[in-house]
Amino acid sequence: MEVSILGAGAMGSALVIPLYDNGVDVKLWGTEYDVEILKKIEKGEKHPRIGVSLPEIEIYYPEQLQEVLDSDVILLAVSTDGVLPVFEKIKDKVDSTLITISKGFLEHGKVMTIPETLWTIKPSLKEKIVAITGPSIAREVANRMPTKVVFSSLGDASKIAKYFENEYYRVEISNDIIGAEITAALKNVYSITIAWIRGYEQLSKVEMSNAKGVIATMAIKEIARFVEAAGGKKETVFGLSGFGDLIATFRGGRNGMLGELLGKGFNINDALNELKRMGVGVIEGYSNAKKAYMLLKQLEKDGAITLDKFPLFTNLYNVLYKNVSVKEALSKIFS
Amino acid sequence: MEVSILGAGAMGSALVIPLYDNGVDVKLWGTEYDVEILKKIEKGEKHPRIGVSLPEIEIYYPEQLQEVLDSDVILLAVSTDGVLPVFEKIKDKVDSTLITISKGFLEHGKVMTIPETLWTIKPSLKEKIVAITGPSIAREVANRMPTKVVFSSLGDASKIAKYFENEYYRVEISNDIIGAEITAALKNVYSITIAWIRGYEQLSKVEMSNAKGVIATMAIKEIARFVEAAGGKKETVFGLSGFGDLIATFRGGRNGMLGELLGKGFNINDALNELKRMGVGVIEGYSNAKKAYMLLKQLEKDGAITLDKFPLFTNLYNVLYKNVSVKEALSKIFS
Predicted complex ipTM: 0.96
Name chain A contacts of B210, Cβ cutoff 8 Å. 135-137, 140-141, 145-148, 248
Residue A306 one-letter amino acid: T
Q: Where are the alpha helices (DSSP H) in B29-176?
A: 35-42, 80-90, 114-121, 138-142, 158-164
- Could you report the per-residue pLDDT of B221-233, keeping only the tens digit for each? 999 999 999 999 9
Residue numbers of A between 313 and 332 with CB closer than 8 Å to B: 330
Among A187, A212, A233, A264, the active-site one is A187
Q: Are strands B105-108 and B58-60 parallel, antiparallel or unpaired?
A: unpaired
Name chain A contacts of B171, Cβ cutoff 8 Å. none
Give the containing element (helix H, strand E) for B27. strand B25-29
Name chain A contacts of B135, Cβ cutoff 8 Å. 209-210, 212-214, 217
Looking at the complex, does the CB of residue A27 fall below 8 Å from at least one CB of chain B?
no
Query: Can you name the CATH fold of B179-333?
Result: N-(1-d-carboxylethyl)-l-norvaline Dehydrogenase; domain 2 (1.10.1040)
CB atoms within 10 A of CB B297: 12
- Could you report the per-residue pLDDT of B154-167, keeping only the tens digit for each? 999 999 999 999 99
In this structure, what DSSP letter does residue A243 have?
A: I
Instruction: With cut-offs at 50, 70 and 90, classify the pLDDT of residue B251.
Output: confident
Q: Residues B2-175: name the CATH superfamily.
A: NAD(P)-binding Rossmann-like Domain (3.40.50.720)
Determine, for residues B135 and A213 on separate chains, whether the beta-carbon distance falls below 8 Å. Answer: yes
* Cβ burial, residue A174 (10 Å; 0-12/13-18/19+): buried
Which residue spans of chain B are classified as CATH 1.10.1040.10?
179-333
Which residue spans of chain B are classified as CATH 3.40.50.720?
2-175
Mean model confidence pLDDT for chain B: 96
Q: Report whether pLDDT(B252) > 90.
A: no
Q: Report whether pLDDT(A93) > 90.
A: yes
- Could you report the per-residue pLDDT of B278-296, keeping only the tens digit for each? 999 889 999 999 999 999 9
Instruction: With cut-offs at 50, 70 and 90, classify the pLDDT of residue B5.
Output: very high
Using only C-alpha atoms, chain A has a radius of gyration, in whole angstroms, of 20
Determine, for residues B221 and A211 on separate chains, whether the beta-carbon distance falls below 8 Å. Answer: no
B205 annotated active-site? no
* B136, HSE (Cβ side, Cα atoms, 13 Å): 29
pTM attached to this predicted model = 0.96
* Cβ burial, residue B306 (10 Å; 0-12/13-18/19+): exposed
* Cβ burial, residue A335 (10 Å; 0-12/13-18/19+): exposed
| 8 A C-beta contact, residue B134 and residue A217 | no
Among B27, B103, B128, B187, the active-site one is B187
Architecture of domain A178-333: Orthogonal Bundle (1.10)
Instruction: With cut-offs at 50, 70 and 90, classify the pLDDT of residue A335.
Output: confident
Which residue spans of chain A are classified as CATH 1.10.1040.10?
178-333
What mean pLDDT do residues B183-191 have? 96
Q: Which residue in chain B has the smallest CA separation from A216?
A: B244
Looking at the complex, does the CB of residue A212 fall below 8 Å from at least one CB of chain B?
yes
